[in-house]
Amino acid sequence: MKINATVEKALNEQINRELYSAYLYLAMAAYLDEKNLPGAAHWMRVQAQEEVGHAMRLYNYVVERRGRVVLEAIEKPPVEWKSITDVFESALKHEEKVTSHIHSLVDLAQEEGDHATVSMLKWFVDEQVEEEASVDEILQKLRYLGEDGRSLIILDRELAQRQG
């Protein structure tokens, strides 16, 4: 069955948000590379790839439902942060915002009686729990360890181990 037009429009907006997320994480990676934190930059590049994957998951779903994907301009992300802690605080705030958008999409799909979209979005609801927890774990370590050189070297090595 063809996707509901209201849901299609909302999913297209979410595709844009996911692609913006990839841009944001790439901007964070560039900042961290400049600060000589290659492990943290690697972590952000992997995160950017995940966000592109999320956008493509939505893209493919819209196409499968005989909808039309309409790509819009992607907003320029910020390029400066105060510190690595500020980067991860910004990442957590961003993921919380994405979570609220996903929840709104679920609400809309339920209101429209679009059970297939509700089912598909369950994966995103679960993924957002993981996304927030992952960033929060790093943030808690940063707050506990601080940003002295030795602590950052240890954490940076740990972040470099992230698999894509």
Q: Is a pLDDT exceeding 90 seen at residue 85?
A: yes
Residues 6 or more apart whose CB falls under 8 angstroms from that of 129 comprise none
Tell me, yes or no, whether 23 lies in a domain: yes
The answer to whether residue 87 sits within a structural domain is yes
Tell me how crowded residue 103 is: count the other CB atoms within 10 A of its CB: 14
Within-domain flag for 164:
no
Q: pLDDT of 96-150, one tens digit each?
A: 999 999 999 999 999 999 999 999 999 999 999 999 999 999 999 999 988 888 9
Q: What is the reported pLDDT for 149? A: 87
Residues 85, 139: contact at Cβ < 8 Å?
A: yes
CATH number (domain holding residue 34): 1.20.1260.10
Q: Which domain holds residue 68?
A: 5-159
Residue 45 is predicted with a pLDDT of 98
Average pLDDT over residues 68-92: 98
The pLDDT score that the predictor gives to residue 1 is 86
Query: Is 59 part of a structural domain of the chain?
Result: yes
- The reply to whether the predicted model has a pTM over 0.85 is yes
Burial of 20-39, coded b for 16+ CB within 10 Å and e otherwise, reads: bbbbbbbbbbebbeebebeb
User: Per the structure, how many domains does the chain have?
Assistant: 1
